[in-house]
Amino acid sequence: MLTHRLALVTGGKRIGRVVAEELARAGADVALSYRSSKQEAEETAARVRDLGQRAIVLKADVSQPADCAALAADIQREFGGLDIVVNMASTYVSRPLAEIDEQAWRDDIDANLSSAFHVTQAMLPMLRARPQAHIVNFTDWLPASGRPGYTGFVAYYVAKAGVKALTEALALELAPDNILVNAIAPGPIVPPPDLDAEEREEVARATPLQRWGGEMEIARAVLLLVTTGFITGETLRVDGGRHVR
């Protein structure tokens, strides 16, 4: 499906690793950016190469416009262009409201919202040079459903709600360039490392499908959204039905 297509994935570990592998399995070459997880990014790149595709690993703090500009220049030099951007870089930090100072607020907004904007803006010249290009952003099933759900995540929730709005605004703005912009809103996909067995089971019970989704569900959603020619401005919830309960 993606032969001769060039993709950027920001974040190459856990779910991002499987997304990169499936993009490669479909025929794409993959650029991986990382901020601190170099080893994981290199391991993901090795898996992409094992599938017969090119892979490059580039260090960048994608919350910083200058790093995004440098990332774009590196991709242009190494790949000669870009067709697909998958904005997966994110943080997930719980903070009581009283502990959200200016820096904590800025950190959450920059990591979860501003990063998607800065990466997209930096990659636009390459995307516009293609007959058709795709951008996939990552929000969260709760803001995609219009409800915060849990206390302790004010800044995270606001940032991820902003990603949905960003996706819709970019879809309209970039439609004349035939750049399709969509978002994925994951629910219970992979248990965080700090969840014990009882907590993992509790999440599964709260999900109508009674299980965690697994990384491949996100990879399949990404493949759908980077191969469509007519879906744009959409946020796809991959949450096992959590939003209907």
Question: 180-200: per-residue pLDDT in tens?
Answer: 999 999 999 999 888 999 999
The confidence score (pLDDT) of residue 193 equals 86
pLDDT of 109 over the 80 cut: yes
Does 192 fall in a domain? yes
Residue 14 to residue 9: CA distance in whole angstroms: 12
pLDDT of 13 over the 80 cut: no
Does 75 fall in a domain? yes
pLDDT band per the 50, 70, 90 thresholds, residue 59: very high
Domain count for the chain: 1
pTM: 0.96
Structure tokens at 48: 């992409």
Which residues belong to the active site? 156
> What is the pLDDT averaged over residues 142-161?
94
pLDDT band per the 50, 70, 90 thresholds, residue 12: low
Does 206 fall in a domain? yes
Other C-beta atoms within 10 Å of 170: how many? 24
Does 155 fall in a domain? yes
Beta-bridge mates of residue 32? 9, 57
Which residue matches tokens 């996100």? Answer: 218
Other C-beta atoms within 10 Å of 166: how many? 21
Residues 6+ apart with CB under 8 A from 174: 124, 127, 135, 180, 181
> What is the pLDDT averaged over residues 105-134?
98
Other C-beta atoms within 10 Å of 227: how many? 15
Between the CA of residue 102 and those of 90, 97, 117, 158, what are the distances in Å? 19, 12, 20, 15
Residue 236 to residue 2: CA distance in whole angstroms: 21
What CATH number does residue 191 fall under? 3.40.50.720
**Domain extent at residue 234:** 6-244
pLDDT of 219 over the 80 cut: yes
Q: What percent of the chain has pLDDT over 70?
A: 100
Q: What percent of the chain has pLDDT over 90?
A: 94
pLDDT of 31 over the 70 cut: yes
The confidence score (pLDDT) of residue 142 equals 95
Does 1 fall in a domain? no
Q: Work out whether the CA dihedral 15, 21, 24, 25 comes out positive or negative.
A: negative
The pLDDT tens digits for 67-108 are 999 999 999 999 999 999 999 999 999 999 999 999 999 999
pLDDT band per the 50, 70, 90 thresholds, residue 14: confident
* Mean of the per-residue pLDDT values of the chain: 96
